[in-house]
Structure 1
Amino acid sequence: MPKKIPNHAFDTDKSREQLLQEIYKLRESLTTKERRCLELSEENTRLARTLPEKEAFYQILYEHIPLAYQSLDAAGNIIAVNKTWLSIFGYTHEEVNGRNFADFLHPDCVEHFRENFHRLKSVSETGVELEMIKKDGCLLLVSLHGKISRDNLGNLWQTHCIIEDITERKRTEEDLRRYRQIVSFTPDGISLVDQDYRYRIVNDAYETFSGRKREQLLGRHIAEYLGEEAFHTQVQPSFDRCLQGETIRYKAWFDYPALGRRFVDVTYFPYQEFDGSITGIVASTRDITDVKQVEEALRRSEAHYRLLHESMRDGFVHVMMDGRIIDCNEIYCRMLGYSAEELRFLTYINITPERWHDFEAAIVCDQILSRGFSDIYEKEYRRKDGTVFPVELRTILIRDDRGRPA
């Protein structure tokens, strides 16, 4: 029996025109969908054609990127490494694939790796520094940054890790740390001043010189610290010459807020960038006040000694152990008829008659060298004009810092 069509299948209230309009809209909708299907089909065809090219591109990128790449499974075994990884560590694919990554680590780093690998499973991304062993036994300090891929159940499927050799960088950082420590502990005040005469770097000793903390100096103009007059008269002229490439050194008195008046030895070095341009000045300031005061005391003592030396009524002469005359007073010069300059070209033997040579040599050995001085004794001198005259003298031995006869 033919199937009976329900009455509601047709809307008898619609006109013929309305029905035709709906049919037309349905045809248009079908045409649009057919067109979209055709576009998607063409896009799939195009992607299918370009997919091998993209795969080849990414394969080249994977193999030749200048960073070592590795992928590990959930147990930490190596699934894949790229050519850069093999080149850095000296292995072949056959020697690496399937082995646990811990096999390539320094024993001291294995536990540290395992802790971070376990953490990676929960945080999905991590970074760690490890020491790896190359095939030739050499050690490399590396930085490892990893992410993970998960399966449909959310479990770790595999890791994607980039490994960077940071051995040289760490060595440079350590050298820089040591250099900073040396500069920090040196008693010389070290500062870097830019072309605008503003502090960029100061060490601990410079803080002591200035009586200010580092943060109170950095970025400030040097005139704020030394004063306008000292800056314009003593510092700026030398700074400007240094900025032209000249190394400047001078000694001067400065009034420091914390230390008071100090005599310092100052050296300015041009600070050059890698391209050779001069962008500032490295200033080294050494406090030599104590040395200056000793020098001045010695100068005063020498002046006093010289006055006493020249005021003596007796002749005085300073003779080296080989007999060379290196100093004498005016009385001694008049006694012999020579000038002080002429006596410096003579020896003690030249002004002593020969018959006294053995006698005086015995006094040197028996008295002067053994006890440091002689008894008063008599001998003769020969004047410049050849005449001989008697003298009475005592000799005292001078020793150097090591106790040896000077």
Structure 2
Amino acid sequence: SIISVARDITERKAVEQELKESEEKFRLIAEQTLIGICIAQNKDLKYVNKAFGEIHGYTAEEMYEWTINDLFNNIHPDDLPQVEENRRLRETGDRSIHHYSFRIKTKSGKTKWLDVVSRFIHYNGEDAILATITDITELKEIDEKLKESKHDLDERVKELTCLYELSKLVENPVISLGDILNGTLNLIPPAFQFPDITIARITYDGKEYKHANYEETEWKLSTMVEINEKPLLIEVYFLEDKPFLKEEHDLIRDIGIRLKVTLEEKEAQNRLRESEENYRMGFESSTDGIASADMEGNFIDFNKPFLEMLGYSREELFKLNFREITPRRWHEMEDNMIISQLADGKDSGIFEKEYIRKDGTIFPVNARFWIIRDDQGDPVRMWGIVRDITESKKAEEELSSLAKFPSENPHPILRLNRNKVIYVNNSGNYLLDIEEDDEIPDIFRNEVERAFETSFIVDVDIELKDRVYSFTITPFVEQNYVNLYGMDITESKLAELKLIEINELKSEFLRRASHELKTPLISIKGYSDLILALHKDQISSEIISKLNEINRGCERLQNIINNLLKTSQLESPELKPKVQKEDLSFLIKFCVHELKSLTKARNQKLDLNIQDGQYCLFEKEEIHDVISNLLTNAIKYTPPYGKISINTEEKGDFMMISVKDNGIGFTEEQEGRIFKQFGKIERYGQGLDLGIDGTGLGLYISKRIVESHGGEIWMESEGKNKGTTFYFTIPSSK
């Protein structure tokens, strides 16, 4: 018999057909895609698409003969450990998707970067690995270029930051050379690619500036610039073998150039400041009056002799015009001289005119002025030098009155031209042993030449035949001769020398007395402090009070001794202040802070009306004493609940500081004494709640200090119980 079994395989056939179609679709897609695809099973390559072969530089047919090991042989040695680790994980059962990248060597020897994704699949009923690869070589190259660009940008940012910080560093107007170079050293390591191993040294003007861990190595970068004919060397070292970047070469060169520009500017500014200080010293030390005004004739600046000549205060003269101190009959002449100078550019030459003093008296002067122009050639300022010739005029009048009988005059009288004696009277003949037509005596030759050259009167003291004579040499340039008028000043000279000797003895006495007083004073205060420290709990409150009074008395005596020593020091002609540019605003605030407890104890209000950053030329310790002394006086002589104010104001090339109070004030008689030694105004027994300690030396010391700085000090008071304002000036630094 026949048994027939029939099975419906329609569904299976359909599945097989669907699977076949799916495989054909997969192959169609796989062969068309640019992504490389391979299937590996049992260490053999079971499937490789066209793109996979092309990426490796082979045909798919060639790669079908490969094993997994052949693939691994083409991987870059540096990337092989990563790929081996992935294979190890697969062998231990890791079935996760792996995504990584590595380099291969193609058939032509070219290196490519591949992005790889691998996963487990079932293939022909068994486990297999499906790997897709993408050629990312161009992306990697772009990425490397981006990294290089980012690195270049980072280096550029560091370079610009370094140069910016250097610019900020040198902007400080009072920074020293040492601070600039040390600051530059600190900016160098952060600007380099390896800051932790970067050290530097700067050598300039015989000095070295270097990092604490500085040492010379073989990995060096340096640059040199010349600053005012002096070399500046910058050396940068790596402590390890690292290459320097081109940007670092450029940076160190730029730092050198920036330092060159900065230091040359600083030196130019220092020379300018020294020039201005020398000008100010000459301006203030001149015995002639010097003044400047704008083209309208309004005063801009003037020195102390000019003020003394006219009798005005600085504040009063600032409110006046040149015409207001000149008699009307000279106005037209001066206008014509200004017009002439504007036309030909020459100074006025020396001419004679008159001025009007504050008290209304008119006096003669020799004057000379010139006009200053700006960069565009426009006139902006006038400068003038004047000399009071009142005394020489009187001498000329006396000489003229004696001209009829000069031979009978008891004083030596001569007339000289540039080479010889034109006339000599009997007294001059006897004293100098010369005749008419003789050559000019050597003792007068230099002074006569100076009188001719300057057209100014020259005074000279000469010792002749055991006597001292003062000769006045008056030039008459147009007539080409000078007149000499001599006078015996032996007695007045001796008196002057005696006064100098007495003053030196006084100063020496003050110095010695002050030092001698210091020793017992130290002992007294020392033992008093010792008793209070060791036995305070064993002695009565009354004795403690007495010991405290001893200490306060010692402190007062110490202040007196210090003032006496300061006075004797200030009287030395060799003592000059060591001026430099200082912050006046800070110093005033510092003095106010020191005395704050005193004003608080007396319930006084202290107003501070100053601007920040006001710089002047002064010795800080000296001007500190002046400000503190004026403030202390204002506090002491202003009753409780009073008001004190401090103000600053620019006055031409000077800064004016004022300390105003609403205290007890001064009478006219008292005003004339306060700036003298021991010029204290006694306030005992007047029923006022005041601090009355003091020696009367404080204002005298302040006056000497201010005048040694080229300034002035004065006071104004409307009278008793109407308050006082003390003013003083010091040179500003602009």
Structure 2 length normalisation: TM-score? 0.24
